[in-house]
Structure 1
Amino acid sequence: MSPEDRREAIAEATLPLLVEHGINVTTSQIAEAAGIAEGTVFRVFKDKHELLGYCVHTALRVEPLLEALQAIPRTSDLEALLRAAADAMGDHFRRSGALMHALAASGWRPERPSPDEEQQWHQRRLEQARLTTQAVADLLAPEADRLRVAPRTVAGMFLGLVFTDQMGRRAFGETAPASTDELIDVFLHGVLAR
């Protein structure tokens, strides 16, 4: 196994443990979950803090979401396309949100990045948002003649709605996001009674 594959395997085994235990997870728990000796963790990562940072980076990667969006079967049923996209995005937001919540609740505070690192992080997030918006726009492109605005505009609005519903409602005291069906219905038909 290559060093990068080993890092990935350890991170994948660690992520569920971080959601469960936060930063209180032990390296022996990590080693057991990964099926490796505890010393291997420290041959791959210089310390637990580096492992946590790598896990956060892994959880926030957009590539699995893009693959899920690209795998959605193309259909002329616009509601089905949006439902599948909302489900894929919801899964991604829930996983990354659960990790970040567990880490913050257990006292983890990331190191303050340098201005250059912060700028690079910001640029990466913008690129990830662009790629995700484009993937949803590509999904909707065959239905462009049914849309009042361009597929890319629809994709941006839809992403904003799904993200806010998944991640922002707790800030307003809501305990759970709307159902996917409610979200799609409001997005396509508005909030007014028919």
Structure 2
Amino acid sequence: MRTRARAMAPDERREVLVDATLRLLREHGRQVTTRQIAEAAGVAEGTIFRVVDSKDELVDAAIARAFEPGDLVARIEEIDPDLPLRERLVLLVSIFQQRFRATFSLMRQVGLVGPPHHDSADHQAWRARLEELVAGVVGDDEEFTEPVDHVAHVLRLLTFAGSHELIADGRLLTPEQVVDTVLVGLRRAPAC
């Protein structure tokens, strides 16, 4: 006999359903059923429609959730600023690659060719915070031929391209390869 799920407020129930839907989208794409979602969330299938109007609304909310910062900011904040530059950058690129690859995989599963449009003040604030964190990990611009914000931009672009199966022609770059390319290309030559 199935046990009844604990009572939750509609907003809390919606969060549980969105989380379950996102996990299932990564596996089944848009073919996920409301029955699968209900089972994964531990609710009756009819409960879904007390929280959202349609499966499509739930799928859209789950896709939007995938593009939220999640733990990305916290993981970058954990990078020790006292580590040598190369080690800091390898950790940063590793974090970005995990995020990019998970996002690319989800996009393939659900048939997206680009991310959902974000114009909210929250999204803009998150982007600014992310840029600030990345610049902090990169560190002092005296080591580079370009300003830190440019180095951070190049690092993110190379990480993005080197993490995408189609862009990289199946030859994905390791975090070390990305970092070494940036360090050799943008670092000042030692004084003789």
TM-score (norm 1): 0.78
Give the match for residue 135 of structure 1: 133
Does residue 166 of the first structure (1) align with residue 163 of the second (2)?
yes
**What residue identity is the alignment partner of 1:33?**
A
CA contact (8 A) 1:19 1:102 kept: yes
Does residue 177 of the first structure (1) align with residue 184 of the second (2)?
no
Give the match for residue 88 of structure 1: 95
Q: Residue 170 of structure 1: SS of its match in structure 2? A: coil
- The alpha-carbon deviation at position 182 of structure 1 amounts to 1.2
Q: Which has the higher helix share?
A: 1
CA contact (8 A) 1:133 1:159 kept: no
CA contact (8 A) 2:155 2:179 kept: no
Distance 1:46 1:109, change over 3 A: farther
Identical aligned residues as a percent: 30
CA distance in 2, matches of 1:67, 1:154: 21
Structure 1 residues 42-98: Cα deviation after superposition (integer angstroms, max 9, x where no partner): 112111010011011100112421222112222231111111111111111112211
CA contact (8 A) 1:134 1:155 kept: no
Q: Which has the higher contact order (CA 8 A, sep 6+)?
A: 1
Distance 1:28 1:175, change over 3 A: same
- The alpha-carbon deviation at position 159 of structure 1 amounts to 1.1
CA distance in 2, matches of 1:70, 1:3: 33
CA distance in 1, matches of 2:156, 2:47: 40
TM-score (norm 2): 0.79
**5+ residue gaps, structure 2:** 1-7, 186-192
Give the superposed CA RMSD: 2.7
Give the match for residue 75 of structure 1: 82
CA distance in 1, matches of 2:11, 2:144: 44
Stretch deviating more after TM superposition (85-94 or 132-141): 132-141
- The alpha-carbon deviation at position 127 of structure 1 amounts to 5.3
**What residue identity is the alignment partner of 2:132?**
Q
Does residue 3 of the first structure (1) align with residue 1 of the second (2)?
no
Structure 1 residues 138-161: Cα deviation after superposition (integer angstroms, max 9, x where no partner): 2223x4443333322221121111
Aligned residues: 177
Give the match for residue 187 of structure 1: 182
- The alpha-carbon deviation at position 129 of structure 1 amounts to 3.9
CA distance in 2, matches of 1:22, 1:170: 19
Q: Which runs of 4+ in 1 moved over 6 A?
A: none
CA distance in 2, matches of 1:109, 1:7: 26
Distance 1:180 1:44, change over 3 A: same
CA contact (8 A) 2:107 2:113 kept: no
Structure 1 residues 74-132: Cα deviation after superposition (integer angstroms, max 9, x where no partner): 2231111111111111111112211111011xxx799xx9xxxx6xx346666554332
CA distance in 2, matches of 1:2, 1:152: 43
